[in-house]
C-alpha cells in the first residue's frame, strides 16, 4: 500500500488536465467482449480499476495490448473460458457486474464472482436482476458467486427500470443490443457513462435511439463489428480538480471538461460567489460531447442558501457531491449536504473534522458543513471510497503543513497518475511505498 505525504497550504497555478472517464471506460470494457473481435479504445485510463478488469479478461481468454498514449487494444475473438475466471480480480472490481448483460448472448452458463469496490454500505444488485430476468437471464446468488444461466434471450418491448441506476441501465442496454427484436427501456439513466457506452455500441453497429434521454429504443442486431473509439473525459475528475482549485484559492485552468455534465455544479458554485470562465468550447475526440477549459479565479464564497444533494442525470452528479464538502469548509455560513443515495458515504465526511473542518452529522445521509474554517494537517487512513478519499486529499492539500494519507489504493483505483497530475500545478506531494 502506498502513502501520500503532502506539504499543504500552498497556492497552485497552471493547467491540470481531465483524465479519461473511469466509469465510461469500465462499461465500454465490459461491452468489448460482445464484439468477438478486435477493438481499439483511445483515451483509456491507466488506473487500478482497469488493471483488475484486464486481469479478469486475461483469465477468461480475452487478450489486450497497451499502445502509446492511453490506447488499449482488446481481442475477444477466442472462445471465452468463464470457468477460469480470476476470482481475486473479480472481487476487486464491482464493474465486473456489467458482464451479466455483456455475456447474456455469449455464454449459456457460468459463475460470476461477487465483487467489492467502494465500501458504501449495501449496494443492491436487485435492479440489475429485475431488468435482466426479463430478457431471460437467470441469476442465483451463492455465497461467493452468482450462478448465471442465459437461455432464450429475447427483447423486452416495454422494460421499466426498477431504479434509474447507471450500471443497471448499462446491463439492460448490453442485453438488448444482441437480443432479436425491439426493446424499449424506460426510466433509464441518461448519465455520461451510459451515453458513452451507447455511442460506442452504435459505432460497433448497434441500433440505439434516444441517447441522452430516459427512454432508449434498441433494435437487436445479430453481431457487432470491430471498431476504434475515443472514451470521453471524466466529469468527476473535472469536478475533483475544480474542488482542488477552489478549496486552495488558486488560479488554475482545468482542461478538457465535459460541460454537459458539469453545468449544474457550475451554477451552484456561481451562486456561492465562485468566479470562472469557460474557454475554447469544442467537441470531444469522439464528437459526441462538448468540452471546455475552465479558468478559476480565487473568490470569496458564501454558503448555499439551500441544501445541496445529488440525483440522477440531469442533476448534480451523485459522485460530484463529495467534492463540495472541502469547498463548503471555505464558504461563509452553514450548508446542509444530503447524500441520500448510499447508506454510509456521509459518514466519511467526518474524516475532515480531523483536518479542522466543522462538519456535523445529522443522520447517516446528512451533514451540516460550517465555514469558513482554517484547515490543519494530520495523518489519516484513506477512506474506503474513491470520492470521499479524494475530498480528504484535497483538504490536506489546502491545510498548511505536512499531512500523511495512508493506504491510497482507493484513490489509485479511480485516478490516473494522480501524484503527477497534482505536482503539475504545484502540489507538494510524494508517493511512498509503505
How distant is the alpha carbon of residue 96 from its chain centre?
14
Please report the pLDDT score of residue 119 as a whole number: 46
241 touches 235 (CB < 8 A): no
Q: What is the residue whose three cell numbers read 434471450? A: 153
Q: What is the residue whose three cell numbers read 502506498? A: 2
Same domain, 156 and 241: no
Please report the pLDDT score of residue 418 as a whole number: 96
Q: What SS3 class is residue 410?
A: helix
Same domain, 225 and 242: no
Give the burial class of 376: count Cβ atoms within 10 A of its Cβ; 0-12 exposed, 13-18 middle, 19 or more buried. Answer: middle
Please report the pLDDT score of residue 115 as a whole number: 79
Please report the pLDDT score of residue 1 as a whole number: 77
Same domain, 157 and 201: yes
The CATH number covering residue 361 comes to 3.65.10.10
Q: What SS3 class is residue 403?
A: strand
69 touches 20 (CB < 8 A): no
Whether cis (ω within 30° of 0) applies to the bond prior to 98 is: no
Domain end point (choices 185, 208, 230): 230
Same domain, 66 and 197: yes
Instruction: Identify the domain containing residue 344 by its residue range.
Output: 2-19+233-433
Same domain, 28 and 13: no
Same domain, 215 and 309: no
Please report the pLDDT score of residue 143 as a whole number: 87
Same domain, 8 and 89: no
Rounded (5°) CA angle 340-95-32: 140
Q: What is the total count of domains within the chain?
A: 2
Q: Is the pTM of this model over 0.85?
A: yes
Contacts 24+ apart (CB under 8 A), 304-311: 304/268, 304/271, 304/272, 304/328, 304/331, 304/335, 305/271, 307/335, 307/336, 307/337, 307/338, 308/268, 308/335, 308/336, 308/337, 308/338, 309/337, 309/338, 309/339, 309/340, 310/339, 310/340, 310/341
Q: What is the mean pLDDT of each run of 10 residues along the chain (434 residues)?
A: 95 97 97 96 94 95 92 96 92 89 95 69 76 95 91 95 94 97 98 98 98 98 97 98 98 98 98 98 98 98 95 94 98 96 89 98 96 97 94 98 96 93 98 90
Gap between the Cα atoms of 46 and 66, Å rounded: 10
Same domain, 321 and 223: no
Same domain, 280 and 226: no
Domain end point (choices 230, 249, 278): 230
Same domain, 247 and 310: yes
Please report the pLDDT score of residue 122 as a whole number: 47
Same domain, 151 and 86: yes
Domain end point (choices 215, 230, 245): 230
Same domain, 8 and 45: no
Amino acid at each position: 500500500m502506498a502513502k501520500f505525504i503532502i506539504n499543504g497550504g500552498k497556492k497552485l497555478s497552471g493547467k491540470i488536465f481531465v483524465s479519461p472517464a473511469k466509469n465510461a471506460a469500465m462499461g465500454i470494457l465490459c461491452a468489448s467482449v460482445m464484439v468477438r473481435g478486435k477493438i481499439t479504445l483511445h483515451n483509456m485510463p491507466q488506473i487500478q480499476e482497469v488493471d483488475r478488469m484486464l486481469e479478469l479478461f486475461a483469465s477468461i481468454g480475452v487478450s489486450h495490448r497497451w499502445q502509446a498514449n492511453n490506447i488499449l487494444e482488446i481481442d475477444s475473438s477466442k472462445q471465452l473460458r468463464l470457468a477460469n475466471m480470476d476470482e481475486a480480480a473479480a472481487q476487486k472490481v464491482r464493474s465486473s457486474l456489467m458482464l451479466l448483460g455483456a455475456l447474456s448472448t455469449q455464454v449459456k452458463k457460468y459463475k460470476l464472482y461477487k465483487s467489492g469496490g467502494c465500501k458504501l454500505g449495501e449496494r443492491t444488485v436487485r435492479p440489475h436482476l429485475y431488468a435482466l430476468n426479463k430478457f431471460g437471464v437467470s441469476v442465483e446468488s451463492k455465497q461467493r458467486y452468482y450462478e448465471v444461466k442465459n437461455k432464450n434471450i429475447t427483447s423486452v418491448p416495454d422494460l421499466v427500470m426498477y431504479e434509474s441506476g447507471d450500471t443497471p441501465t448499462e446491463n439492460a442496454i448490453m442485453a438488448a443490443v444482441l437480443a432479436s427484436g425491439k426493446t424499449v427501456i424506460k426510466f433509464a439513466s441518461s448519465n455520461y457513462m451510459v451515453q458513452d457506452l451507447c455511442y460506442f455500441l452504435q459505432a460497433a453497429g448497434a441500433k440505439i435511439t434516444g441517447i441522452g434521454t430516459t427512454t432508449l429504443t434498441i433494435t437487436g442486431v445479430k453481431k457487432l463489428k470491430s471498431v476504434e473509439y475515443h472514451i470521453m473525459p471524466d466529469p468527476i475528475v473535472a469536478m475533483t480538480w475544480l474542488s482542488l482549485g477552489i478549496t486552495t484559492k488558486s488560479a488554475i485552468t482545468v482542461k478538457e471538461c465535459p460541460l454537459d455534465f458539469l453545468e449544474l455544479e457550475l451554477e451552484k458554485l456561481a451562486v456561492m460567489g465562485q468566479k470562472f470562465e469557460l474557454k475554447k468550447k469544442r467537441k470531444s475526440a469522439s464528437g459526441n460531447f462538448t468540452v471546455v477549459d475552465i479558468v478559476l479565479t480565487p473568490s470569496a464564497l458564501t454558503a448555499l442558501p439551500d441544501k445541496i444533494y445529488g440525483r440522477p442525470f440531469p442533476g448534480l452528479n451523485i459522485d460530484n457531491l463529495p467534492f463540495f464538502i472541502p469547498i463548503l469548509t471555505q464558504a461563509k455560513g452553514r450548508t446542509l449536504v444530503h447524500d441520500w443515495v448510499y447508506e454510509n458515504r456521509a459518514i466519511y465526511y467526518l474524516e475532515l473534522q480531523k483536518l479542522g473542518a466543522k462538519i456535523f452529522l445529522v443522520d447517516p445521509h446528512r451533514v451540516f458543513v460550517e465555514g469558513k474554517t482554517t484547515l490543519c494537517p494530520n495523518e489519516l487512513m484513506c477512506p474506503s471510497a474513491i470520492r470521499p478519499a479524494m475530498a480528504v486529499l484535497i483538504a490536506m492539500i489546502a491545510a498548511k503543513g505536512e499531512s500523511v494519507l495512508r493506504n491510497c489504493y482507493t484513490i489509485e483505483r479511480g485516478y490516473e497518475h494522480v501524484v503527477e497530475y497534482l505536482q503539475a500545478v504545484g502540489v507538494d506531494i510524494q508517493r511512498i511505498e509503505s
